[in-house]
């Protein structure tokens, strides 16, 4: 995370006060409250959760280079045959796994990240489920940023872990955006870093109580805003400047709102009997 922010007693709270961020936090909260108040949620929330998971996984895979149509993801059963299929399969597994790791996250976030990578990579190589070591390559071609060395990765992962374990009064959106941004900036694993970063963001949003039923897939919003906008916002995070950090957090907030819009459309389709 930015050295500018880390000088504060609680850097997450400091980030939450950056210009534009309180408005983004308020806008996200209102949007989430609206979809949770939808009449369909009282009777069919499990269906909304399942559909949000599917759409979130599809969107996360798209950002990692496997941009499949939703219906293709829905009907497909074989996800091991070629590169794009493996990416989609990894995204689906991560979305399912995220909900099982909520209780562990606050006590041992590094253990959760290792588990997420193990689930995503789905092989038994000795680089799976642990941060990369000196000299080990990173296969993350869609994120064109300098790759931090292994020592920096280890130090910053430990710092992020301590922030999560200590807890913060910062809004969930801020914490989720920092977790997501830090993992993308570090690319701590040899592969699947984008998928893991977005799954970790999902865990924060659900576990914080902002989206306890997992019906507001931020991944949908990230993908809808486009890969170029996603990369530009990440550049802001990596810059460590107040303006850049605020831009990244507000980008993530907009992504949650777009995820809300997606699930609201699903609610309305169910209400009409069309889905």
Tell me, what's the pLDDT at 124? 62
| pLDDT bracket for residue 33 (50, 70, 90) | very high
Tell me, what's the pLDDT at 6? 41
Written as six digits, the tokens of 130 are 């642990």
Tell me, what's the pLDDT at 5? 40
User: Taking the CA atoms of the chain, what radius of gyration do you get in angstroms?
Assistant: 18
Average of per-residue pLDDT values in the chain:
93
**Torsion angle defined by CA atoms of residues 100, 105, 107 and 108, in that order, rounded to the nearest 10 degrees:** 100
Mean pLDDT of 140-148: 86
Write out pLDDT tens, residues 158-200.
Answer: 999 999 999 999 999 999 999 999 999 999 999 999 999 999 9
| pLDDT bracket for residue 142 (50, 70, 90) | confident
- 10 Å CB burial of residue 188 (0-12, 13-18, 19+) is buried
Terminal Cα distance for the chain, rounded = 42
Report d(CA 95, CA 109) in Å as an integer. Answer: 17
Tell me, what's the pLDDT at 275? 47
Q: Residue 65 phi/psi, 5° resolution?
A: 100, 5
Closest CA to 1 of 191, 237, 188: 237
Tell me, what's the pLDDT at 2? 46
Q: What share of the chain is helix, strand, coil (3-state, %, to 5)?
A: 70, 0, 30
Give the chain's largest Cα–Cα span: 56
pTM metric for this prediction: 0.94
Written as six digits, the tokens of 69 are 């149509």
Write out pLDDT tens, residues 63-82.
Answer: 999 999 999 999 988 887 78
Write out pLDDT tens, residues 211-258.
Answer: 999 999 999 999 999 999 999 999 999 999 999 999 999 999 999 999
Report d(CA 61, CA 83) in Å as an integer. Answer: 11
């Amino acid at each position: 995370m930015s050295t500018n922010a880390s000088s504060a007693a609680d850097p997450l709270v400091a980030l939450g006060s950056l210009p534009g961020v309180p408005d983004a936090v308020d806008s996200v909260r209102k949007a989430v409250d609206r979809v949770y108040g939808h009449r369909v949620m009282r009777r069919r929330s499990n269906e909304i959760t399942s559909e949000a998971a599917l759409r979130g996984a599809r969107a996360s895979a798209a950002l990692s280079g496997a941009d499949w149509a939703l219906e293709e993801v829905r009907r497909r059963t074989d996800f091991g045959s070629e590169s794009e299929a493996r990416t989609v399969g990894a995204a689906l597994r991560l979305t399912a796994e995220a909900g099982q790791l909520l209780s562990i996250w606050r006590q041992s976030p590094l253990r959760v990240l290792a588990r997420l990578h193990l689930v995503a990579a789905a092989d038994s190589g000795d680089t799976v489920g642990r941060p990369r070591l000196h000299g080990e390559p990173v296969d993350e071609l869609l994120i064109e940023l300098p790759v931090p060395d292994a020592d920096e990765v280890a130090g910053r992962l430990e710092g992020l872990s301590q922030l999560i374990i200590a807890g913060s009064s910062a809004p969930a959106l801020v914490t989720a955006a920092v977790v997501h941004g830090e993992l993308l900036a570090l690319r701590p694993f040899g592969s699947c870093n984008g998928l893991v970063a977005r799954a970790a963001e999902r865990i924060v949003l659900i576990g914080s109580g902002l989206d306890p039923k997992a019906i507001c897939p931020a991944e949908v919003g990230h993908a809808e805003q486009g890969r170029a906008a996603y990369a530009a916002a990440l550049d802001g995070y990596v810059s460590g400047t107040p303006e850049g950090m605020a831009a990244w957090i507000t980008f993530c907030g907009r992504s949650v709102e777009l995820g809300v819009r997606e699930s609201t459309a699903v609610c309305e389709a169910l209400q009409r009997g069309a889905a």
